Homo-oligomer: A and B are copies of this chain.
Amino acid sequence: MDWDTLMDEMSSGSIPALSRLITHVEDRSPGWREVMRRLYPRVRHVPTVGITGYPGSGKSTLTGQLARELAGRGKSVGIIAIDPSSHLTGGAFLGDRIRMNALSGLEGVYIRSMGSRGAVGGIHPAARDVIKILDAFGKDTILVETVGVGQDEIDVTRAAQVVVLVCAPGQGDAIQYLKAGVMEMADIYVANKIDLPEAEKMLNNLRGMLMPGESGRHPHPPIVETQAEKGIGIAELADAIAKRVATGPSREAWRRRSAEEDVASLMRERLAELAAWPGTGAADVDGALEDLLAGRTDPYALADDILARSLVRMLEKHRS
């Protein structure tokens, strides 16, 4: 992997180079950490918007329309679509591909599909790196769209500065979101498909749940009414996001929280590598096991010893 050439090409604005760089980082190809370290000083920490909601809420359409709106305002937009099917099918749904092609035609819009981690749940740790790559590439705003409710949603609220929760009528009460712990994490609520008969009920549910008295939050988080397919309410959503970026937690607070999460996420990934014992990492495992079986040590001391040695070896390898 010639990372230098790829970095140079990406710096001069090559979209294919960008895509290849993302693929290598997503695949955790050897050297990915070093490349991210070199790229990191160029990251400007632009606004990242997480867009979440149940399947069928019209989230994908809304994300597309929002990208169009932002592009119309002269912004370049990066979209990361977290696709729970990708790890199984090796790619996005056909419908998603069509949407992606349509959006890719827009000036300044780059869209990328990434698999979630399947049974384990949660977005791929590389999603945080891809956000940084798009940022360093010059994108002004990054949209991260996730499907399903659960670990994906928790992860995206950690990765995004502004979280948008998309609701639609007839998906059961919005109370489901509350139960899933997602409701309270959103900064902006979208009531989509506002032309449907049950829209009023949905709005009342939403308003009821977001009453300051209930949630203890001041001010009441905004509810934006949209009909994404017809483009209704999209400008208002873009405004609400801009307002939230301007008036929400300071950029410094967001950067601090985000930096903490970066480090925690990278640590978790390292720890998962270490946990693969007896894997390839520990060369002297056989000797250690003999010591244990012969009663010269015990598993409690040995586990700590192997952990310490493996970590030292891993970090030495990383630095060399």
Contacts and interface: CB of A to CB of B under 8 A. Distances in A.
Contact of A304 (B301, B302, B306, B315): B315
A295 B256 contact: no
Contact of A266 (B272, B295, B299): B299
A35 to B, nearest CB: 10
A16 to B, nearest CB: 25
A308 interface: yes
B40 A266 contact: no
Interface stretch (A141-149, A167-175, A201-209, A257-265): A257-265
A97 interface: no
Contacts of A289: 256, 259-260
A267 B300 CA distance: 9
Contact of A306 (B256, B267, B302, B318): B267
A263 B36 contact: no
Interface stretch (A52-60, A61-69, A274-282): A274-282
Nearest to A132: B299
Most chain B CB within a 10 A radius of its CB, from A264, A300, A302: A300
A272 B272 CA distance: 9
A298 B255 contact: no
Contacts of A238: none
Given A267-B306, A289-B259, A37 B300 contact: yes
B37 A292 contact: no
Given A259-B293, A289-B256, A308-B315, A303 B270 contact: yes
Nearest to A258: B299
Contacts of A99: none
Contact of A40 (B255, B274, B300, B307): B300
A274 B267 contact: yes
Contacts of A318: 304
Nearest to A35: B300
Interface of A: 33, 36-37, 40-41, 252, 255-256, 259-260, 262-264, 266-268, 270-272, 274-275, 277-278, 288-289, 292-293, 295, 298-304, 306-308, 311-312, 315, 318
25 contacts: A33-B300, A36-B298, A36-B300, A37-B300, A37-B301, A40-B300, A41-B295, A256-B293, A259-B289, A259-B293, A260-B278, A260-B289, A263-B292, A263-B299, A263-B302, A263-B306, A266-B303, A267-B277, A267-B307, A270-B307, A271-B271, A271-B275, A271-B307, A307-B311, A308-B312
